[in-house]
Chain A
Amino acid sequence: MSAAGLPAPFGHLSPWLAFALPSEDARMRRRLAASMDELTGLYRALVDEMPAIAAHLDQWPLAQLPEPQKPLLYLALAFMEAAMAVEAFQQPGPPQATAPDSLVVYPGRAERLLGGS
């Protein structure tokens, strides 16, 4: 994955790069380990920009998404993790839930296509 940060014109979202992880499993665990301050910050930073991020990434077919664009996609996927925490639970995960350490998340076809796992 690119160490350079996020592609233009989204470089200003780079403070959230630590959430731009290439697998669903990693993004879920990052979310569950995060504080609500972090998740709320991520959510607020992206919520109004998500349509523009989607439109920007949709310039390419997913199968040909250039490598430097991938962190932006992973960050958009992490936004959805943060959204459940912020919009539904007001805490990182469901208040009454089975422990995530008993859960294994395997990649789907799109994640494999991107080489995220």
Chain B
Amino acid sequence: MSSPANGNPRPFAPRYPQLGTGPVPVTSAVDPAYFELERERIFRGMWINLILRDSELPEPGDYVVRHLEAQDATVLVVRGDDGRLRAFHNVCTHRGNQLAPQGAGHCAGFQCGFHGWTFDTRGRLVFVSDEQRFHALDKAALGLPPVHLDTWRGFVFVNLARRPAQSLEQAMSEFNADLKPYPFERMVLAGRYRYTVNANWKVTMNAFQESYHGAFVHKLSVGQCISPQDPYLAVQRIKLQENGNQSISVHLAPHAPSPAEKLAFDFGATFTQGGDATTAFPGTAQHEVRDWGFDLNIIFPYSRINVGAGWYYVDAFWPVAHDRTVYELAYYFPMPQRASEMISQEYSKIVLRDLSREDLATNEATHRSLRSGAIGQMVLSDQEIAVRHLYHTVAARCGRELAG
């Protein structure tokens, strides 16, 4: 197959003419008022990927609490004693105190620390201290306020809207062919990482939507995966969905591995292995892309399910404020049966962690500069069409047209 670098250098723009080719304004990344608009028009109504597998809460009473800054909400996800997973607002229906702190645990129910009101794992109010002094208390109507919860291939999503505009299945429908068959259930959590980033969520995400930066930002960390024939890792496959979702395939040049990398290759699936993988992985673009490495599957607005040959990672760019993001990444591998597999997986975890730290440093520097107002717009190459697509989708949802 000929390298895209030698063929049509701008193959993607003609496929998505509605996105145009002109510069993209940076206002939405730096204006605090725009962030409030996004909160109202996007974050509160979308299905939010909690970076959580339903298998991570296997037993009745297992729960997690997540503060969702972008939605101004704190959410409690708990498996009920009937086996069903539910989500609630993490709030006591008495006077609004928070029921459980952020984190995970196991419980028989939730007791509010303020006055002892107690809720069971199905969210029902089961105990009110000194109940006789209340006036006509209807305990059945005072259960925890529910939050919409659904799962897609075992990934737990919540939606803070009173009535979600669409089901999770509808929101993920275009991933049914490309991603759904991936063997997620064969893998378990290998590591989880959280970073605080001083940058807008879109600026943070942008570096994770293209390969063009690889030759510069990652020239030391994964320079071995970049060949002189394809120095800018020109992406071969990009699919942009009407609803903002995206799929981008990253390829990695075959290379002579370093001693540590060779050790990792010998004992398991590896982040940098690329086209050398011999097993077929359904739900990926492995057979469509030369030297395929992995697919980045972006679920609008701000999470991803990224699948490789024997591993996957799920991440989110949690918006906190217009200039602050929490980047969270969970990495999944088959459960190592022997020490050698764990050693192999450690290599990939360390590479991805170092790469993430390189990306996030660039995001912070970019945001600092954009804030100055020195440039009002970004000029984007065909390789950066997913960045363009994100700004277009956000603008359309916020009722602001972007100039093409």
A residues near B, CB below 8 A?
24, 28, 47, 50-51, 54-55, 57-58, 60-62, 65, 73, 76-77, 79-81, 83-84, 87-89, 93-98, 100, 102-111
Contacts and interface: CB of A to CB of B under 8 A. Distances in A.
B203 to A, nearest CB: 13
Nearest to B341: A62
B193 A103 contact: yes
A103 B340 contact: no
Given A58-B339, A80-B350, A87 B258 contact: yes
Given A93-B354, A98-B357, A54 B191 contact: no
Interface in B202-227: 217, 220-223
Contacts, number: 135
18 contacts: A28-B350, A57-B338, A58-B338, A73-B339, A77-B342, A79-B343, A80-B260, A80-B347, A88-B222, A96-B217, A97-B360, A98-B195, A102-B197, A103-B194, A104-B193, A105-B191, A110-B335, A111-B191
B195 A102 contact: yes
Contact of A84 (B188, B336, B350, B362): B350
A23 to B, nearest CB: 10
A24 B358 contact: no
A103 B193 CA distance: 7
A111 B349 CA distance: 13
B112 interface: no
B335 A98 contact: no
A24 B196 contact: no
B358 A97 contact: yes
Interface string B77-120: 00000000000000000000000000000000000000000000
List 5 A-B pairs, minimum CB-CB distance, nearest first: A83-B260, A57-B339, A97-B357, A98-B360, A106-B192
B364 interface: yes
Contacts of B336: 62, 110
A105 B350 CA distance: 11
Q: Is the interface of A mostly helix, strand, loop or mixed?
A: helix
Contacts of A79: 260, 343
Nearest to B363: A98
A54 B361 contact: no
B53 to A, nearest CB: 11
Contacts of A54: 263, 267, 339-340, 343
A77 B343 CA distance: 6
Contacts of A107: 191-192
Q: Is the interface of B mostly helix, strand, loop or mixed?
A: helix
A49 B43 CA distance: 51
A105 B195 CA distance: 9
Nearest to A24: B191
Contact of B351 (A73, A84, A95): A84
Given A24-B349, A54-B267, A62 B192 contact: no
Contacts of A87: 258-261
A103 B352 CA distance: 13
A94 B220 CA distance: 8
A65 B195 CA distance: 32
Contacts of A55: 340
Given A57-B338, A61-B338, A104-B194, A93 B357 contact: yes
A108 B192 contact: yes
A78 to B, nearest CB: 9
B353 interface: yes
Given A102-B195, A108-B331, A96 B358 contact: yes
Nearest to A87: B258
B149 interface: no
A73 B342 contact: yes
B189 interface: yes
Contacts of A24: 191, 346, 349
Contacts of B19: none
A76 B267 CA distance: 13
Contacts of A81: 350
B197 A98 contact: yes
A83 B354 CA distance: 12
Given A88-B221, A94-B357, A106 B193 contact: yes
Contacts of B194: 103-104, 106
A90 to B, nearest CB: 8
Which residue, of B339, B341, B354, B358, has the highest number of chain A Cβ atoms within 10 A? B339
B369 to A, nearest CB: 15
B258 A83 contact: yes
B221 A80 contact: no
